[in-house]
Structure 1
């Protein structure tokens, strides 16, 4: 049977009686959500349309809500508190920063990062998640400043994606992999994970620099292929566990399955420009595929952290018998990836700056 005790520590259940009239219960909620949705879509704080901005800033099937370019910096910082077609993208990941920061403090108290070396991979992954959310949030907030700033912001965003993919694989091999798999592949797994992280950053930066609108399909291939490779490799330990275990009786495995499903859904919506492809202009401010992708990534990370912690609780006696991870290995591997990605971003940033300066 499913043990709901630990689930209850994280998700408070609202009392609900099936004796109540269900339609009457949900109708007011539906009306409030519908009213808020319509109100948000009709606001016009940033009323520029796609044909009023340079093609670089336009997104497929998004018609309204673009910000002006070449405005003073306060214009973009203040836009954090106004409605435009990037508001959801920014706030979804700002909330991610706050929640991951909360988890960092929460799990520090539970795992004692300072004195428990076996908790260091967990601390590393939380840090990479915070960096990823920071890079993404500020990229979406500030990228409309100019063409050069736009491209630079998303180069930094790719650094965050690369780092988070590495951090995800790092904790999943250490806490969630079957012991036979961990013993067989431990350090080789981390090495390959680093290489895939560097490849993801490089090819995404290359695609951002090399291709111009209208983007050919090859651009998305250069972006999705290395990220997909990094993701698939990072969830390999989870897939092995899921294949050989009874999922319904284990909250950790349910979290792992949920994060895989959520990622596939989010990536599909983002990659196929759904649902805005079906109704251009109707979902500019809330509900477009990029918004849903960001929300999926947030919940993927939440499921990942809780699921991995529950794995650590379950297998702590086994994990504690392993050779203690070295601080230089845990923090050093993360810093090495940051350094490599920074060099890649800096190299392409110089190329972009040179091209725009010459133009």
Structure 2
């Protein structure tokens, strides 16, 4: 891995790498200067560029999810009720991923190295959100028939491993090695985030699409789950296809391109996911407390903390070679 990172660093020293690194497919106009200062990046929040709405479509929802998190903590006295801990962890992950994304889009034009490091953190935040989703699914969403099954007991350990795989593949996809084309990097990233999503949702897919008869947990919440699933697949479709800008390059550079729509659909999907989890939590609480795996600090906040530490280690392992090379080149100037 270190050899590949060193190869990437040597490529970054060539100005010709700016275009493939900074330019997006079918987006022609509206780019900021690839050597912007931090001040320039912040000021660009109030200027119309092709990143402006990317930033705001995640920065504003951060405050909405933060409000929800604070409300749950204050209204439900979570320190006395362990059943609410998975919801708190999930809401915290909902605050982290849009904030990391908005920061990545804001400061990604400071340099080639800064761009890659910013998105390393973005990918780690998405992995953490994936784990937060697994935590609430394990606690509240599993169909009655699967509760306390062998798969239920293995579900969280596998989800933790998936976050490591997700972050590692996504960060590696940013290396831009010569034998890989842009589309291959996109495919890697789609796989990196589609795989943990599909695994996390196995119990939900079974519950709403396949399960029949007793033990299927067919309640009013399923409609909210349908909304979430629809928006999640639309989110993946937009990210993978680069529509609509691919159909008319240059026409959606500032407003309406796929990444903006991807952000909006992702946040709406998270909103319905949160509402569904809250409703399942309320409706199923007595039965789950009696029959499901007990919720503890270790299988809620504990696995979340472990995920944060491991993902930070991955991000640092990819970022340090870039930072060290930068100091070698510019330390004497």
2:200 aligned residue: 234
2:282 aligned residue: 313
Task: Select between 188-197 and 221-230 the one with higher mean Cα deviation.
Answer: 221-230
1:194 aligned residue: 160
CA displacement 1:225-267 (0-9 Å, x = unmatched): 13111000111121122023799x8542111111111111121
Instruction: Determine which structure has more spread, i.e. the larger CA radius of gyration.
Output: 1
Distance change in 2, residues 1:323/1:202 (3 Å): closer
Aligned equivalents of 1:237, 1:134: Cα separation in 2: 28
2:66 paired with 1:97? no
Alignment of 1:149-228 (within 5 A): 149-184=114-149, 185-211=151-177, 215-228=181-194
CA displacement 1:290-337 (0-9 Å, x = unmatched): 111100110011000001111111101112224642213311101111
2:38 aligned residue: 73
Task: Select between 92-101 and 104-113 the one with higher mean Cα deviation.
Answer: 104-113
Distance change in 2, residues 1:212/1:281 (3 Å): farther
Instruction: Check the 8 A contact 1:205/1:348 in 2, yes or no.
Output: yes
2:9 aligned residue: none
1:277 aligned residue: 246
Aligned equivalents of 1:150, 1:216: Cα separation in 2: 16
1:144 aligned residue: 109
Aligned equivalents of 1:274, 1:107: Cα separation in 2: 37
2:93 aligned residue: 128
Aligned equivalents of 2:129, 2:138: Cα separation in 1: 14
Deviation at 1:109, TM superposition (A): 4.3
Instruction: Check the 8 A contact 2:96/2:125 in 1, yes or no.
Output: yes
Q: How many residues align?
A: 308
Distance change in 2, residues 1:81/1:213 (3 Å): farther
Distance change in 2, residues 1:336/1:235 (3 Å): same
TM-score (norm 2): 0.86
Task: Select between 292-301 and 318-327 the one with higher mean Cα deviation.
Answer: 318-327
Distance change in 2, residues 1:292/1:203 (3 Å): same
Deviation at 1:178, TM superposition (A): 1.3
Deviation at 1:92, TM superposition (A): 1.0
Aligned equivalents of 2:116, 2:232: Cα separation in 1: 25
CA displacement 1:195-222 (0-9 Å, x = unmatched): 1111000011111124369834332232
2:21 paired with 1:56? yes
2:255 paired with 1:290? no
2:298 paired with 1:328? yes
Instruction: Check the 8 A contact 2:148/2:293 in 1, yes or no.
Output: no
Aligned equivalents of 2:20, 2:143: Cα separation in 1: 49
Distance change in 2, residues 1:358/1:140 (3 Å): same
Deviation at 1:87, TM superposition (A): 1.1
- CA RMSD between the two structures: 2.3
Distance change in 2, residues 1:87/1:245 (3 Å): farther
Q: Identify unmatched segments of 5+ residues in structure 1.
A: 1-50
Distance change in 2, residues 1:245/1:176 (3 Å): farther
Match of 1:301 among 270, 284, 287: 270
Aligned equivalents of 1:173, 1:83: Cα separation in 2: 42
Instruction: Check the 8 A contact 1:260/1:300 in 2, yes or no.
Output: yes
Aligned equivalents of 2:221, 2:74: Cα separation in 1: 20
Larger RCO (CA within 8 A; separation ≥ 6): 2
CA displacement 1:76-104 (0-9 Å, x = unmatched): 11111221111111111112211111111
Q: Identify unmatched segments of 5+ residues in structure 2.
A: 1-15
Aligned equivalents of 1:357, 1:205: Cα separation in 2: 21
Match of 2:148, SS state, is helix
CA displacement 1:263-301 (0-9 Å, x = unmatched): 111211111110000111111111111111100110011
Aligned equivalents of 1:120, 1:143: Cα separation in 2: 34
